[in-house]
Structure 1
């Protein structure tokens, strides 16, 4: 490995770092179209009008503002020439949403339709139009709704405003309480089995539009994205691992079990604004809206004119990865397996060459590889520990949805600390083994990890196998080429590692400081370690330990800068949570919170956990305090019938909230044998009870069948605390906003005789 001596090796390394930074920059959205552009292209400025209209205020399900937004969107779809209707129904949590619990609710899905001229299936453009009660939902999911409407406008304004396939716009309802609208849509059964779903959502207020999840088999879908989408920010590692993701659910979880093909698009930058009162039009990134919308319009045209029967019949999976300038490389999975074999063979041949030449020994190479692999979890551990330490210093971060408002210094600290681990390992390996063993040890570690991943989950191995294989070939070529060509050849073959490092690292950090240790840090060690091959004989011989030490000091400086810069104020409020709970029978009230007391909630709660019965009803509450009991009307359960026959007790109830609550829960100690809620049979009866959202004024009917004998039931209704009329409640200061589960609750027992 006689490459990269002196300044030439350093310059090659710097060039590769430029590629890394340039790739990360290119992936981010830049610029947006204005009014002067052609009418048949996506225009973020026009789309933004929809955002400003629907995101004036929070519009959670069951509220008057929700109804205003619904009516506005129905009118806009009809202006676009779509046959539009509101489909009312009862939806429930999909089985993949939460195990052992049940949420159910009244929804009003908006469905617009344009008929195709020779349909082979249906393209569904999907976004949810409800928001959380804590924020106006400009990004989540106003931008998704706006992207769809503007895409339809641009398409219908083109010279050929007719598609081969049917086009359906589904603006789903009740996504925030638990994907209720999409589940109701699927449960009704009135959908095209040859359907392709393009779903839109957001977990932040900026960043690139990412295809982060896709149904499998994904071969035809991935190829369509590669062929037509201008910003195909996706890779098969992310989609393969996210396929089983349950902590960040979207309407995807409703459509997938129905056998529909789904492309799940979202963006996650500036995540502090997620479910925030400042998720308003002012905090929408128009460049992100432009990127998302251009993708939506392109997918409308691509799938709208494609033979969808062949798409839905395709049973192949693919490996794929994005490159700069809108390129998505799609290959059969066997290609990744073959590349893994080539990588292992190339690395083996290189090891044989260096051993034969006497540059190093097998023992040193393998020990170096073992330590290189150990550096991967070490980088994850220390970067995770960094964020935990920051949260100890700044406890308010524990309550943030994902990241702080100004995360840039912390993000840079995460990257620099990961690099410090890599450089620290490199200094250690060069000292303990030798320069050749250090470089070849990292290459061997990449080969071992890539081959193992390819054997288990080949579609997810492309991020390691593709750059690892080319790096191994590049190193192998240095043994058979003239001296003057060795470094240029090696540098060219390391460019894929730089491209992958740039493409994956920044999006991994943007995904969240708690997930960056698992998404970004390992790749910085592995792919960054490959780039160090250019420095094998250009690394300083003396005082090289100062480089990782300097990186650690820079990490500390960046972290300190983050603590100084990111402060709570009116435009960057802390998240808080508070519950007013009233026992209507004993007339006892308590303030509760599932968060540690902050500067404001200390006026209501202390660090003491609640006592019974509050502790049972709110098991996540860790703070509580006494509250004045107010005369709030308790929810009622009118007993329409109560009969016992053949050892079974059948109870028919009408549940109502006399104070106009938006949600009502019915809880039990012993699980009933069967359950029907608001006319819908529940096939899997939950263990403890159910939550019903968007409760109508007339209430809902519930039918239970249980074993004969006592049937203790408890009833609770919930309203958004700020709208509940609780006299003891005071508006929080401007530097504080409430989480979406901030409520007032009144509970009582159902008077059923034994």
Structure 2
């Protein structure tokens, strides 16, 4: 008879969780949450970037810019439309002459005929009257080529009182003159040109350049508006812009600028007084706020509609730029051309344009290296990478097609929208999907 032994007890060998499974689950949860947090943070920073600094009241220190004080000048300017040749236009000019003199400036009125057919205006010639205000410096005029010229046009279109375009800049320049005088003045003469006839094709700027020339000036700073609010954006420069971009970054509490904007702007059928100065080869910057577009050249361009915060941004930048460049000399106003962009209106990144190609090459090389590394480790698969890239490109094309289709449908339902300026509707937020 054969004996059999009882089966020995054996440990449970059922498979447990695979190594790293818990970490993978955590990654699966944390990755989308991290992505969502980054998107939300970016959105918040983007919204904050669109907010100009808060307007300051009349209790601001005498040597600092106050939008409330500037608004007092603005009410004397933008009471009614004041196009070239109108009675209101004469009143505004006389107000500017009187006020600038009261603020300590030496004021002259330059009158003459100007013709500017290149800008496509139906009224390419007129008699214009520039108001030229010189704030004397403690050390007298700057060396040849080192003076600073600040420009804002004081005429408006016939259809609106021009509180933003361009009363805000004119009033801000008056407040800047007052703040400079109250804080001890300037080292060298500063010239403010309240130009005339800009709305007819920069006629006043053409007259000033023709009769005075620009040899005395190291830089021209032009101030504009194409809306009733938003942050001040520097959107155009002259040649050799990097020193002035550096000054703009240091002077502006919330710098908003992008060199790509000028590449877009110069391909559009838009001109300003700065066009005349840029054609003469002078160094300079052109800045404006552009939100609230439908108040532009409209009867709603009133003092009540103007965002005081935007005027504060105008004035803070004007005043700081003058103080930064006063006595700087021409070498600090012109240099290399630069590439620049802001990070959420808090930091202005800039570098010489000659760095652009090497930086692009380094970026492409880094991307290629990252792709190669990922494929060798089987983290990235060529098919999936190409698929993701195709998805992104396809989404962009599809979004453009959908928007175009929806706008076409909107025009079919409301044909009157096609007659609006730039085919852009009022209360455009309702059309944002």
Q: Distance in 2 between matches of 1:352 and 1:223?
A: 38
Is the 2:53–2:254 Cα contact (8 Å) retained in structure 1?
A: no
* 143-152 vs 191-200, greater mean Cα deviation: 191-200
- Structure with higher strand content: 1
Distance in 2 between residues matched to 1:392 and 1:38, nearest whole Å:
56
Moved more, 190-199 or 360-369: 360-369
List gaps (5 residues or longer) in structure 2: 1-23
TM norm structure 2: 0.87
Q: Partners of 1:250 and 1:384 in 2: how far apart?
A: 31
Check 1:5–1:393 CA distance in 2 against 1; reply closer, same or farther (3 A cut).
farther
Determine if contact 2:239/2:282 at 8 Å carries over to the other structure.
Answer: no
Number of the residue aligned with 1:563 = none
How far is 1:51 from its partner? 1.4
- Residues 303, 35 of structure 1: CA spacing in aligned structure 2 closer, same or farther, 3 A cutoff? same
1:230·1:298 contact (CA, 8 Å) conserved in 2? no
1:303 aligned residue? 325
- Residue 105, structure 1, aligned to residue 136, structure 2: no
Aligned CA distance change for structure 1 residues 220 and 406 (closer, same or farther; 3 Å): same
Q: 1:178 aligns with which of 201, 215, 227?
A: 201
**Which residue does 1:448 correspond to in 2?**
none
Q: How does 1:25-40 map to 2 (within 5 A)?
A: 25-27=47-49, 28-40=51-63
Please show how residues 193-592 of structure 1 align to structure 2 within 5 Å.
193-242=216-265, 244-312=266-334, 314=335, 316-324=336-344, 326-402=346-422, 403-410=424-431, 413=432, 555=433
TM-superposed CA distance for 1:198, in Å, is 1.1
Indicate whether 1:155 and 2:176 are aligned. no
- Checking the alignment, whether the CA contact within 8 Å between 1:319 and 1:333 is kept in structure 2 is yes
How many angstroms apart in 2 are the aligned matches of 1:7 and 1:304? 57
- Give the distance between the partners of 1:59 and 1:4, measured in 2 at CA: 66
Cα deviation, 1:400-423, whole Å, max 9, x if unaligned, reads 33544422233xx2xxxxxxxxxx
Deviations 1:449-475 (A, max 9, x none): xxxxxxxxxxxxxxxxxxxxxxxxxxx
Q: Which runs of 5+ in 1 are unaligned?
A: 414-554, 556-754
Report what 1:77 is aligned to.
Answer: 100
Aligned residues: 404
Q: Could you say which residue in structure 1 is the equivalent of 2:20? A: none
Deviation string 1:456-510 (CA, Å, 9 cap, x unpaired) is xxxxxxxxxxxxxxxxxxxxxxxxxxxxxxxxxxxxxxxxxxxxxxxxxxxxxxx
Deviation at 1:378, TM superposition (A): 3.9
Q: TM-score, normalized by length of structure 1?
A: 0.51
Post-superposition offset of 1:262 = 2.1
Higher relative contact order (CA 8 A, sep 6+): 2
For the pair 1:127 / 2:152, whether they are aligned, the reply is yes
CA–CA distance in structure 2, aligned partners of residues 12 and 71 of structure 1: 61
Secondary structure at the counterpart of residue 86 of structure 1: strand
**Can you list the C-alpha shifts for 1:670-706, whole angstroms capped at 9, x where unaligned?**
xxxxxxxxxxxxxxxxxxxxxxxxxxxxxxxxxxxxx
Contact 1:136 1:279 in 2 (8 A): yes
User: Contact 2:106–2:136 at 8 Å: present in 1 too?
Assistant: no
For residues 248 and 322 of structure 1, the distance between their equivalents in structure 2, rounded to whole angstroms, comes to 23
Task: Give the secondary structure class of the aligned counterpart of 2:333.
Answer: helix
Task: Quote how far apart the aligned CAs of 1:131 are.
Answer: 0.7
Paired with 1:296 and 1:367, the residues of 2 have a C-alpha distance of 50
SS of equivalent residue, structure 1 residue 81? coil
Match of 2:89, SS state, is: helix
CA shift, 1:360, in A, is 4.6
1:25-55 Cα offsets, whole Å, 9 max, x none, are 2222242100111011110001011211111
Q: Is the 8 A contact 1:92 1:179 kept in 2?
A: no
Alignment of 1:625-640 (within 5 A): none
Alignment of 1:571-650 (within 5 A): none
Aligned-residue offset at 1:371 = 4.6
Contact 1:270–1:405 at 8 Å: present in 2 too? no
Partner of 1:56: 79
